Amino acid sequence: MTTVNERLTWRYATKKFDAKKSVPVEKLERIIEAVRLAPTSSGLQPFELIVVSNADIRAKIRTVAWDQAQVTDCSHLLIFAAWDDITPDRVDMMFDLTNEVRGSKNEGWENYRQMLLGIVANRGAEANHQAAARQAYIALGVALITAAFEEVDATPMEGFDPAAVDEILNLKSKKLRSVVMLPLGYRAAEGDWLVNLKKVRRSRDSFVTEIK
């Protein structure tokens, strides 16, 4: 049985994708579903996932992503776009959805709704966006692990102009801001300088502090 750590040892930040290989729909859908199921603070899911397969759109994104070939050579480009603000309407939307799905109203839950509404109101739009962006990174981690289990290569990327990507994808109209991208696909047989290099991580002793 393959373990999580074995799959994490296998994965690496793929530098060269085989543009001729496409991720099967069933594998892609399992990765997307894992992102949807990822944990988020207060269950708000304060971000959305944009799945870009359109070649022309990806070519435009590449021009504002340091000309990184992974953007166009991958099979699918995932873009994690966080809410530009955690507004009362958005909080209420998720709390109301929770009540609908669970078929009941809980006094403690409703009290928590009011407390959260006060917190986000006091925090302000930019701080709320940053909080939402941090939640998107949790889902990014889930996507990377799931992709590794599906034997799909993936490369987390911050190297792009978020404002330019937002414009290309018209995210402002949806009150979203791009945060991080994740190309999915299959490593090329040749031409990737990183593929055969040993994975480098700090030792456990230098990385972990135990407080007993």
Q: What is the mean pLDDT of residues 12-31?
A: 97
- Reported confidence tier of residue 4, pLDDT bands at 50, 70, 90: very high
The token duo for 136 is 């998107």
Residue 193: what pLDDT? 92
pLDDT over 80 at 68, yes or no: yes
* Crossing angle for the helix pair 107-123 and 88-102, to the nearest 10 degrees: 160
Q: What is the mean pLDDT of residues 31-60?
A: 98
Q: Is 176 helix (H, G, I), strand (E, B) or coil?
A: strand
* Average pLDDT of the chain, as a whole number: 96
d(CA 60, CA 68): 11
- Reported confidence tier of residue 135, pLDDT bands at 50, 70, 90: very high
pLDDT over 80 at 137, yes or no: yes
CB-CB neighbours of 102 under 10 Å: 10
Homologous superfamily of the 4-83+125-189 domain (CATH): NADH Oxidase (3.40.109.10)
Residue 196: what pLDDT? 87
**Is the overall model pTM greater than 0.85, yes or no?**
yes
Q: What is the mean pLDDT of residues 107-136?
A: 97
pLDDT over 90 at 2, yes or no: no
Q: What is the mean pLDDT of residues 145-168?
A: 98
Q: Is 154 helix (H, G, I), strand (E, B) or coil?
A: strand
Domain boundaries, the chain: 4-83+125-189, 86-123
* Residues 147/13, Cβ–Cβ less than 8 Å: no
pLDDT over 80 at 1, yes or no: no
d(CA 19, CA 50): 20
